Amino acid sequence: MKKRRNDLLLLAAVVALATLLWLTLRVTRSTGAYVLVSVNGAQIGMYPLDEDLALRIGDDTKYNILVIKDGWAQISEASCPDKLCVHQGKVRYDGQSLICLPNKVVVEIVGGEQSDYDAVAK
């Protein structure tokens, strides 16, 4: 009986800690300001996240279509066989990224306003 009670206490503590961590991450994240696009490690452009844009990255055989709309960025189409970059969805928060390994394309969200909360207390 005591073992079951301890298991329930441990489970409650883990759930509480996970909830606290999730809330901290939600409160401290900030919306990005720019979309930084790199191909094969070289930066090819930086575009504001608040302006709607459709951009073709690559050539006729290896390409990605980046769409920036309503403050969100996503890869809507790609020539890669698995289309994982298309299925990653939309991003808008500082530090988020979309990556297409076959085409060597990295789309990063950078900049933005700072949160009123600090993740590290001093």
Q: What is the pLDDT of residue 1?
A: 64
pLDDT of residue 43 exceeding 80, the answer is yes
Look at residue 102 and give its three-state secondary structure: coil
Q: Residue 49, Cβ neighbours under 10 Å: how many?
A: 22
Same domain, 104 and 78: yes
Query: Burial letters for 6-39: b for 16+ Cβ neighbours within 10 Å, e otherwise?
Result: eeeeeeeeeeeeeeeeeeeeeeebbebebbbbbb
pLDDT at 34: 94
Same-domain check for residues 45 and 64: yes
The pTM (predicted TM-score) of the whole model is: 0.71
* Rounded distance between C-alpha atoms, residue 34 and residue 55, angstroms: 14
Express each pLDDT in 51-88 by its tens digit: 999 999 998 899 999 999 999 999 999 999 999 999 99
Structure tokens at 111: 């900049």
The domain of 105 spans 34-110
Same domain, 25 and 40: no
pLDDT at 117 over 80: no
**Same domain for 43 and 97:** yes
> Is residue 122 in a domain?
no
Residues 19 and 39 in one domain: no
